[in-house]
Amino acid sequence: MPRLPSLHLVPHLTRPPWGGDRLAALGKGQGVIGESWEVWRENRVRGDARPFGAIADFPLLVKLLDTQALLSVQVHPGDVEARQRVGAPHGKAEAWVVLHATPGARIAYGLARPLTAQQLRERAESGEIEADLAWLYPRAGDVIEVPPGTIHAIGPGLLLYEVQQPIDLTWRLYDWGRGRELHLDHACAVARRDPLPSPFRKPLRIAPGIERLVESPHFVVERVTLPAVRHGWEALTVIEGAGEVEGEALAVGATVVLPPGPTTVSGVGVALVSRPGTSSA
């Protein structure tokens, strides 16, 4: 069989009330954009009428997020809980790489003190949960892994690269009084209710120009200095400088899916590369 070319997908954009203007500045669209789903099985392949999922089974969702207001306090289930509680095919583990953080930008990550399931529900209903959240203050370059069951809320002033299991499965505990639907039964049942250890991951240098940022059963994320030769299947997003693959220029924010086999990505810059882990669902 002839080797597949590199695939350029048309991102799926979301426009929640917390979005900002940084993704528009990266050429993703116009106006307020909260998320650009860079790699998703439903994304159309540029120059091909088929969705990406008709060409390859790539069990990841890769996003860029721009936050200008607080996201909800939420939790995601693991594989077992997702199947048992709502019949979903799998849960949602995720990880973030911080691309930009304004001074004082913060992320709620877990609780500051232990709570029972009943206490968690009552304090979510009353709004007192605001006082129970543990906050992180990330900087550009930080890597944060978010296992299922982690109570979290992303604050304003952040541009994030996110990789996750490919499902939109979020259970809200609290929404800062905005009135959107909460999912207290599910969220309280799966949430980790004790304070959590630091989630920051230290990069591991595995070869010249390659740092392993996250390695989990679901996905592997690396930071790669360009030029580089990659071997797919994997999603590559330029975050500094510029790249080029098969004659196609890649500016900052551009994503390309690299097929199996060696692919040369030229240029001078830095890219984040995500690929499925050993047991991706």
Active site residues: 172
**What would you measure as the largest C-alpha separation in the chain, in angstroms?**
60
Residue 99 phi/psi, 5-degree rounding, is -90, -35
For residue 146, how many other CB atoms are within 10 A of its CB?
A: 21
Residue 75 to residue 137: CA distance in whole angstroms: 19
Residue 207 phi/psi, 5-degree rounding, is -170, 165
Residue 89 to residue 225: CA distance in whole angstroms: 35
* Nearest CA-CA partner of 161 in 103, 206, 205, 219: 219
Residue 188 phi/psi, 5-degree rounding, is -65, -30
Decide: helix, strand or coil at residue 48. coil
Is 205 exposed, middle or buried (CB count within 10 Å of its CB: 0-12, 13-18, 19+)?
Answer: exposed
Task: Output the six-digit token pair for 280.
Answer: 């991706």
